[in-house]
């Protein structure tokens, strides 16, 4: 009997790492827009933060012309109380924002700007962008701030030329004291007014089946105080409490001793993109949302903090999961459904999946399995249709992994609804991937797997962006033939991490790389594209396993119209395939999508498609020659 392939089997895993959200997918161009950033310090079990309300902001043209201070007196709101007080001592003085590496706007795109301000006397305000050498590139119209109460102001910038590394500057036309808070600066082409266009286009082109968010370790936090709390991410963006990002202290613990401050101490989370916006993005991409919920544990790698599962506080974590489902799906008459409707989406988001814990494992002190049981029962008692995903821990080789399956396997056999799939993670070498193409062949069929985080890690001595080589992509493509062939066990799969901003990385390799103005998919991105776009609904039973001794891997699937034959040749010789051995294959006009290159080849800002997917028309017979170092998909009519 043929195997059915889960709809949307190949999807996305998104976490705010490598400045992938703020500074990346979130199209906001400014840093510390609410003057509430924290400077992050410390190492395992010893983290602390220092308020840094003026991080990213500096006087223009000099500190002698304007005095900038931070205040919490008479704030815009009590959630993010810090704001900027500017004592303007010279007409034409102001302040600038670091904006990561400056403002980049393509000709004609323009930007929508807003801010809150108050002043004791009428003050003229202009939003300007200057070049690195001080030339004015664009200016808003005059904005007159005259109220002593907080008032929102909006304006726009229309640029007639490309802007590169521009300095975002707020200029006052006259002297006086004026207060500012909650700046916003979005390109006019931002998708849904929120998301960076080129990055969203790369995601949409993948046609992902699902998106797992918001993590990853961000879900847990390095301590429970900075875990991701979804209820703090909904409602007006001005009233979302800024949070420090656990990746700000990544690397502070190492083999050479602990350090107090890392390379990215100001990596914060504005929460300008929260759960509502994640759901909107999934809707836009046409994929299923898969939110992951904290189970009362901080990151087990970085902290021993937990909420005892017998405590009343633990019940709050369970209730958060129930309330999230109500926020996503509940009728507008419910508490959280009404919040969603007020934000602009009265219709249900039709949430079907939820993750219980991120990368948790059982220990003498951590009763993860009990925690999962409590969450699962509470969710299914109220929402039996929701599919819960468990966790097999941080790897697939340790006792954590074996303990997890010893727990989940018998319960899934007795009740398939107990866990829709168990989340497995593996960041491994190319040799491991080639050697484990068939790892899921031996899984009992009642076990269901979500390969939630995986990637091939090679080239450790290279600069971060050069570790995404075609050699790594070849190994991933070969391994993924095993995922597709075992589609009755593996229900979902997603590469990790998704994004990395050049010069701002904490983890590599990554699927998509970008800088302030450009973006490109790695060779691994195109492998994901092959599987997400060219996989059918039914596996075709073929046996080309004898070719694997030459490192050639084949998998075949079909839907009602097309057949998809994937051929990965990671060997060093031409190999001939007898396509007549494939039931239902018809010779004739076909399309071939192919990747090829040297194993050390990488994509880059300068050569974004050096290794990418090339389409060609072909008239095929029953024999196909696969060349070394190629990944091909033959698409033919049924």
Catalytic residues: 359
- A 10 A CB-CB count for 235 gives 15
Alpha carbon distance 413, 44 (integer Å): 39
SS3 20: coil
- Phi and psi based region of residue 18 (left: phi greater than 0; alpha: psi -120 to 50; beta: remaining): left
SS3 505: coil
Instruction: For residue 27, give the nearest of 345, 343, 272, 286 by alpha carbon.
Output: 272
Instruction: For residue 485, give the nearest of 436, 541, 559, 526 by alpha carbon.
Output: 541
Q: Which residues contact 201 (CB under 8 A, 6 or more apart)?
A: none
Burial zone of 561 (CB within 10 Å; 0-12 exposed, 13-18 middle, 19+ buried): exposed
Tokens of 635: 């698409």
CA 45, chain centre distance (Å): 26
Instruction: For residue 577, give the nearest of 604, 607, 556, 593 by alpha carbon.
Output: 556
Alpha carbon distance 547, 578 (integer Å): 11
Burial zone of 628 (CB within 10 Å; 0-12 exposed, 13-18 middle, 19+ buried): middle
Tokens of 488: 């009755």
Instruction: Tell me how many degrees the CA angle 376-382-386 measures, rounded to the nearest 5.
Output: 60
What is the dihedral sign for C-alpha 537, 543, 545, 551?
negative
Instruction: Tell me how many degrees the CA angle 84-87-90 measures, rounded to the nearest 5.
Output: 135
Alpha carbon distance 433, 10 (integer Å): 18
The per-residue b/e assignment along 499-533, b for 16 or more CB within 10 angstroms, e otherwise, is: bbbbebbbbbbbbbbbbbbebbbbbbbbbbbbbbb
The β-bridge partners of 616 are 592
Could you give the dihedral angle defined by the CA atoms of residues 198, 201, 202 and 207, in that order, rounded to the nearest 10 degrees? 170
State the number of CA atoms in the 13 A half-sphere of 217 facing the CB: 21
Tokens of 149: 């109460």
180 near 83, Cβ under 8 Å?
A: yes
Alpha carbon distance 14, 289 (integer Å): 11
The β-bridge partners of 139 are 128
């Amino acid at each position: 009997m043929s195997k059915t392939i889960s709809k949307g089997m190949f999807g996305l895993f998104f976490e705010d790492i490598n400045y992938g959200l703020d500074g990346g997918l979130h199209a906001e161009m400014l840093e510390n827009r609410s003057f509430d950033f924290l400077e992050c310090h410390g190492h395992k079990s010893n983290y602390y933060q220092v308020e840094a309300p003026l991080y990213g902001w500096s006087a223009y043209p000099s500190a002698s012309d304007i005095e900038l201070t931070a205040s919490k007196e008479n704030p815009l709101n009590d959630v993010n109380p810090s704001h900027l007080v500017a004592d303007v001592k010279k007409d034409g003085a102001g302040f600038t924002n670091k904006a990561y590496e400056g403002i980049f706007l393509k000709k004609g795109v323009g930007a929508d700007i807003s801010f809150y301000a108050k002043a004791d006397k009428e003050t003229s305000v202009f939003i300007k962008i200057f070049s690195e050498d001080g030339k004015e590139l664009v200016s808003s119209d005059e904005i007159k701030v005259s109220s002593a109460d907080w008032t929102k102001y909006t304006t726009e910038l229309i640029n007639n030329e490309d802007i590169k590394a521009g300095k975002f500057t707020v200029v006052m036309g006259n002297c006086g004291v004026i207060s500012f808070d909650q700046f916003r600066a979005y390109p006019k082409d931002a998708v849904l007014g929120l998301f960076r266009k080129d990055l969203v286009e790369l995601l949409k082109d993948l046609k992902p089946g699902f998106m797992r968010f918001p993590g990853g370790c961000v879900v847990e936090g390095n301590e429970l105080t900075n875990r991701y709390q979804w209820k703090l991410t909904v409602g007006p963006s001005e009233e979302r409490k800024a949070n420090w990002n656990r990746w700000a202290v990544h690397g502070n613990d190492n083999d050479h001793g602990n350090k107090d401050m890392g390379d990215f101490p100001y990596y914060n989370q504005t929460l300008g993109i929260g759960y509502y916006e994640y759901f909107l993005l999934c809707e836009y991409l046409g994929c299923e949302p898969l939110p992951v919920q904290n189970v009362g544990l901080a990151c087990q790698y970085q902290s021993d903090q937990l909420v005892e599962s017998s405590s009343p506080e633990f019940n709050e974590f369970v209730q958060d999961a129930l309330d999230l489902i109500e926020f996503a799906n509940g009728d507008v008459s419910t508490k959280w459904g009404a919040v969603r409707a007020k934000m602009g989406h009265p219709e249900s988001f039709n949430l079907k999946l939820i993750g219980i814990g991120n990368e948790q494992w059982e220990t003498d002190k951590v009763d993860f399995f009990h925690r999962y049981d409590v969450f699962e029962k509470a969710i299914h008692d109220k929402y039996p249709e929701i599919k819960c995903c468990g966790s097999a821990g941080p790897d697939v080789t340790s006792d954590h992994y074996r303990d997890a399956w010893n727990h989940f396997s018998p319960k899934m056999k007795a009740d398939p609804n107990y866990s829709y799939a168990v989340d497995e993670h593996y960041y491994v070498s190319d040799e491991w991937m080639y050697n484990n193409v068939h790892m899921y062949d031996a899984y009992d069929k009642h076990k269901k797997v979500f390969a939630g985080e995986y990637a091939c890690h090679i080239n450790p001595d290279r600069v971060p962006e050069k570790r995404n080589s075609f050699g790594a992509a070849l190994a991933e493509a070969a391994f993924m033939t095993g995922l597709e062939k075992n589609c009755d066990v593996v229900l979902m799969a997603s590469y990790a991490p998704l994004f990395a901003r050049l010069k701002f990385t904490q983890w590599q390799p990554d699927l998509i790389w970008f800088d302030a103005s450009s973006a490109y998919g790695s060779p691994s991105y195109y492998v994901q594209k092959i599987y997400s776009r060219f996989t059918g609904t039914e596996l075709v039973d073929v046996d080309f396993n004898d070719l694997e001794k030459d490192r050639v891997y084949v998998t075949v699937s079909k839907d009602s119209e097309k057949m998809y034959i994937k051929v990965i040749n990671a060997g060093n010789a031409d190999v001939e395939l007898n396509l007549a051995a494939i039931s239902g294959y018809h010779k004739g006009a076909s399309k071939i999508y192919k990747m090829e290159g040297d194993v050390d080849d990488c994509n880059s800002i300068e050569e974004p498609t050096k290794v990418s997917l090339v389409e060609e028309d072909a008239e095929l017979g029953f024999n196909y020659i696969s060349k070394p170092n190629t990944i091909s998909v033959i698409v033919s009519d049924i």
